[in-house]
Chains A and B, each alone.
Chain A
Amino acid sequence: MTEKSLHLAVALDGLGWHPSAWRLSHADATAPLTARYWNTLAGEAEHAALDLLTIEDTLDLQSSRPDGPDDRVDEVRGRLDAVQIAARLAPLTRHIGLIPTTSTTHTEPFHVSTAIATLDHISAGRAGWRPRVSARRAEAGHLGRRDIPALDLARLDEPAAVQVVGDLFAEAGDAVEVVRRLWDSWQDDAVIRDVPTGRFVDRERLHYVDFTGRWFSVRGPSIVPRSPQGQPVVAALAHSSVPYAFAARHADIVFVTPTDPGHAAAIVAEVRAAEETVGRADAPLRVIADLVVLLDETSTLARHRRTRLDELHGNEFTSDATIVTGTPGELADLLAEWRRAGVDGFRLRPAVLPDDLTAVTRALVPALRDRGLFRAGYPGGTLRDLLGLPRPASRYAAASTT
């Protein structure tokens, strides 16, 4: 059963993914600034034995414009740091994976590496990381260390834009490479506490990572001993060939956005081809399809709620991911069909939090179990275990024993 169980994740962001979610949410408008809110969401997700939760983050204010602030006052603005939220959740959860987002363009890889390794220690092996490229000038202006050329989202095919995007992802690749090397830079058995010789560590089991790339170099080793998973889970959101290749090289999970089962099959094929092209040696990527979900007891009620949210917002809600409006049973059928198209699981983005998460945990999950599609509980172990990913040996341990 566990072998065949699909993977189920929830993506947490503010009061939900619909821009008017806060108007109908049963949580307070300021709830996302409180630990209690995040604990409630994580507890709900864990109660239903979801594999993992992700926490969105950016280094700029939410906006309806592609870059820079807007003049709307009717949408949620402001958010907390995702790694801080994940760390705050770790001691109060036991099984669910915790995957915060950070920027590969601005945040120091060394800091990311030690923060996620520490999250892995604190959570006893449930940490993940979603590296995210920062392509917006607003973010660059907040850090003040570099300028990012303006990107016209309607003209991403033009050579200049292709170059910019390619560079951002190449740099992101370097960042993940450094982070992963640092995670390996302490062998599992580096701490020896050998009283007779007075040595706390065996320094032969600590390794300089000596990464030198086009954008930066990092010496190492990490300051954090190797964590329970060795390599926390790296997850990438990808919509096209450049990020598919990035995921194939650097990630364990890829979140994708198909529109229907045929498209899902095509994306899976493209991801597998990308794995082939980059010569991926690790376990195949877990391909997880993203869906925005808006659920109610009847499809009519769900549609009405969708209409109501859109009316409140003033225009129809669109998303990079397919929006499913219906009953939990209908969604369960849809997931079964997409599953047959080859995806390994789903990351559900609740349109309204906590409401649509509660519908997932209390109605969708039982419906999936009825169909034999989802585990009854947690089998125990780390997030890598849950995802069927082996625990890799440190690359340096392998090198020093051969």
Chain B
Amino acid sequence: MPKQIILAAHFPGVNNTTVWSDPDSGSQIDFSSFVHLARTAERGTFDFLFLAEGLRLREQRGRIHDLDVVGRPDTLTVLAALAAVTTHLGLAGTLNTTFREPYELARQLASLDHLSGGRAAWNVVTTSDAFTGENFRRGGYLDRALRYERAAEFVRTARRLWESWPAEAIAGDRDGGRYVTEAAPGAFAHHGDQFDIAGHFTVPRSPQVHPVILQAGDSPDGREFAASSADAIFSRHGTLEDGQEFYRDVKSRLARYGRQPDDLKIIPGVTFVLGDTDAEAQERAHHIRRQQVSPQTAILLLEQLWNRDLSGYDPDGPLPTEDPDVSGDAISRGRAGMYADPVDTARQWRALAEEKGLGIRDLIIEVTGRQSFVGTPQQVAERMNHFVQSDAADGFILVPHLTPGGLDDFVDRVVPLLQERGVFRTEYAGTTLRDHLGLRAARPVSQVGAA
């Protein structure tokens, strides 16, 4: 049997991938938009829906960024509500560990797991961002070097809490008068560098015991954290060869944690554009890229690399000749995924612009706007399947550019082709997200993450 593809749907985010100016673009806030996307994904027998998280509105040049979608509802609250309008779809959310405590988040996720019948998943992220911290009483500062230390200890502690109730803790013995089999269940103690807590957890063991753990980010520390602690990596899409190298590297890290290659799924986030013909798809893709990168957005994206005020530049004119400012405070705040070597990246951009004769906007479209899969449904199904069968990924998190209908065509036109090829389910076989993903039952915390 060929490898089975994992498919997830990303609710369109607060960045310029999401096109809000299109007449078909709906509300980013109304619950009906979330219901539409979730039900579309479930109709397509997707593995899960994915929601990102916002904790501070983004700013550029000291002002709230107003060109992209701004604002979104609270992740956990939307996921619990979506559990009411779906039956099988996994419900995944990004939840930051810097501004939360393990006890609270573990009980929220365990509650979601109960209320959804075992469909909860958590994308573990950590920030050292004092800017975001200004919204929290805990304050923002976490040393950058401690980010993964905190994440790993947070997850370990959460797992301990999720396991703190024995499997059969609730006897419910009315005649014998025993509600619980032992007094004060849920006892735990964790004494670590990041957290020093002890007491009793309030949530009895949930259907998955451990909600599914996702990890995003592909630094060496991030890969190691994923290898030790995560069930899936939300990686970036690249070429087939880059994907294969990443795949080999991450899977090879599993053995030292006593894990099998199948225990960690690699699912890059991808975009897609469909058309009746290849030419039509390419034309639509070009149109979407121009919607995503307006002249103003082009300047703002350029400023994020240059870290300078470039508001005086002509979006159709040439790139700045001076180098990026790498010494000053970041001009853009509240946004992840900045550039590792801005000066070098700027040189590459200049070279590309000269070679192809591109102005700023066209250059930005060229370097930031490429969709992952563009073509007819047949072509897209074929390429996606090839990517998975060639071990460049285990599946994909699809990022539509329109809310809420951006996934409709994919489910109607591509999913059936994947199903015909026997590489994607036609109906849900299990009930929990772990079932869908083919993950084994959660291992006890004592066996997780020890190198």
Contacts and interface: CB of A to CB of B under 8 A. Distances in A.
Given A29-B170, A33-B204, A218-B137, A23 B183 contact: no
A144 B202 contact: no
A215 B139 CA distance: 11
A234 to B, nearest CB: 17
Interface stretch (A104-112, A155-163, A282-290, A368-376): A104-112
Interface stretch (B75-83, B238-246, B340-348, B354-362): B75-83
Interface string A122-144: 10000000000000001001111
A79 B184 contact: no
B200 A193 contact: no
Interface in B107-124: 107-108, 110-112, 114-117
Nearest to B186: A61
Given A59-B104, A88-B84, A70 B184 contact: yes
14 contacts: A29-B171, A59-B103, A71-B184, A74-B177, A87-B76, A114-B73, A118-B74, A144-B196, A191-B71, A193-B20, A198-B295, A218-B135, A223-B54, A224-B29
Contacts of B196: 144
B412 to A, nearest CB: 25
Interface stretch (B40-48, B55-63, B142-150, B212-220): B55-63
Given A198-B297, A219-B135, A220-B135, A206 B67 contact: no
Contact of A73 (B135, B180, B200): B180
Contacts of A72: 183
B382 interface: no
Contact of A223 (B72, B83, B172, B199): B72
A115 B76 contact: yes
A152 interface: no
Interface string A84-103: 11011111100000000000
B428 interface: no
A87 B103 contact: no
A76 interface: yes
B134 A219 contact: yes
Given A79-B202, A110-B135, 14 more contacts: A81-B107, A81-B203, A88-B84, A114-B74, A114-B77, A142-B198, A142-B200, A193-B21, A195-B21, A198-B21, A203-B64, A219-B134, A220-B135, A225-B29
A78 B165 contact: yes
A35 interface: yes
B93 to A, nearest CB: 12
Instruction: Report the 5 A-B pairs with minimum CB-CB distance, sorted nearest first.
Output: A29-B172, A216-B137, A69-B184, A87-B80, A144-B197
A309 to B, nearest CB: 12
A186 interface: yes
B81 A91 contact: yes
A77 B115 contact: no
> Most B CB atoms within 10 A — which of A60, A77, A219?
A77
Interface string B211-251: 00000000000000000000000000000000000000000
A199 interface: yes
Given A77-B180, A206-B64, A111 B200 contact: no
B202 A84 contact: no
Interface residues of B, number: 79
A83 interface: yes
A278 interface: no
Contacts of B73: 114, 117-118, 121-122, 224
A33 B181 CA distance: 17
B31 A108 contact: no
A221 interface: yes
Nearest to A35: B115
Nearest to A141: B199
A122 B183 contact: no
Interface of B: 20-21, 29-31, 35, 54-57, 63-64, 66-74, 76-81, 83-85, 99-101, 103-104, 107-108, 110-112, 114-117, 134-138, 165, 169-172, 174, 177-186, 195-204, 294-297
Contact of B103 (A78, A83, A143): A143
Contact of B183 (A73, A91, A198): A73
A70 B183 CA distance: 7
Contact of B114 (A34, A141, A190, A221): A34
A80 B78 CA distance: 16
A193 B23 CA distance: 11
Interface of A: 22-23, 28-30, 33-35, 38-39, 58-61, 63, 69-81, 83-85, 87-92, 106-111, 114-115, 117-119, 121-122, 138, 141-145, 186, 190-191, 193, 195, 198-203, 206, 215-225, 312
A119 B183 CA distance: 35
A224 to B, nearest CB: 6
Contacts of B68: 200
A202 to B, nearest CB: 7
Given A78-B204, A84-B80, A143-B101, A224 B72 contact: yes
Given A79-B202, A198-B21, A118 B77 contact: yes
B174 A108 contact: no
B203 A88 contact: no
Contacts of B111: 80-81, 84-85
A259 to B, nearest CB: 30
A335 to B, nearest CB: 32
A203 B63 contact: yes
A83 B103 CA distance: 15
A107 B104 contact: yes
B81 A224 contact: no
A108 B138 contact: yes
> Most A CB atoms within 10 A — which of B56, B84, B135?
B135
A162 B64 CA distance: 43
A110 B67 contact: no
A23 B174 contact: yes
B74 A91 contact: no
A87 B55 contact: no
Contacts of B29: 121, 224-225
A122 B138 contact: no
Contacts of A186: 71
Contacts of A222: 71
A218 B134 contact: yes
B137 A215 contact: yes
B78 A122 contact: yes
